[in-house]
Amino acid sequence: MSWPQKKLSDVALVNPRRPSLERADAELTSFVPMEAVDELLGEVIQTITQPFSKVKKGYTYFENGDVIFAKITPCMQNGKHAVVDGLIDGFGFGSTEFHVVRASEEIVPEWIHYFLRRKQTLDTALKTFTGTVGQQRVPASFLEDLDIPVPPPEEQRQIAARLKAQLAEVETARQAARVQLSDSRLLRSRLLKEFFAELDAAPKKKLGEYAVTTSGSTPSRGNKRYWQPAEIAWVKTGEVAFAPITATEEAISKTALAECSLSLLPPKTILIAMYGQGKTRGQSAILEIPATTNQACFAVLPNDTWEPDFLYLWLKSSYQDLRDLSEDRGGNQANLNGALLKALDVPVPGKAAQQEIVARIQAAMTEIDALEAASKAALEDINCLPNRILAQAFDPCA
Q: Which domains does the chain have, with CATH numbers?
A: 5-150 (3.90.220.20), 203-348 (3.90.220.20)
Categorize the per-residue pLDDT at 397 as very low, low, confident or very high, splitting at 50, 70 and 90.
very low
- Pairing state between β 81-83 and 67-70: antiparallel
Tell me the one-letter amino acid at 252. I
Question: Quick check: helix, strand or coil at residue 26?
Answer: coil
Element (DSSP H or E) covering residue 368? helix 351-393
N residues, the chain:
398
| Per-residue pLDDT tens over the stretch 56-100 | 888 999 999 999 999 886 566 667 889 999 999 999 999 999 999
DSSP strand pairing (28-32 vs 91-94) = parallel
Task: Give 326-341 pLDDT, tens digit per residue.
Answer: 775 555 557 899 999 9
Mean confidence (pLDDT) of the chain? 91
Lowest average pLDDT, out of 3-17, 179-193, 328-342, 377-391, goes to 328-342
Q: Which percentage of the chain shows pLDDT scores above 70?
A: 95
The reported pLDDT for the residue numbered 78 is 67
DSSP, res 13:
E
Residue 217, amino acid: S
DSSP 8-state code for residue 97: T
Q: Which residues pair with 72 in a beta bridge?
A: 137
Integer CA distances (angstroms), 329 to 104, 207, 269, 275, 333, in order: 63, 20, 27, 13, 9
**CB 130, CB 136: distance < 8 Å:** yes
More confidently predicted of 114 and 328: 114
Question: pTM of this prediction?
Answer: 0.68
- On whether the CB atoms of residues 138 and 129 are closer than 8 A, the answer is yes
- R_g of the chain, CA atoms, integer Å: 29
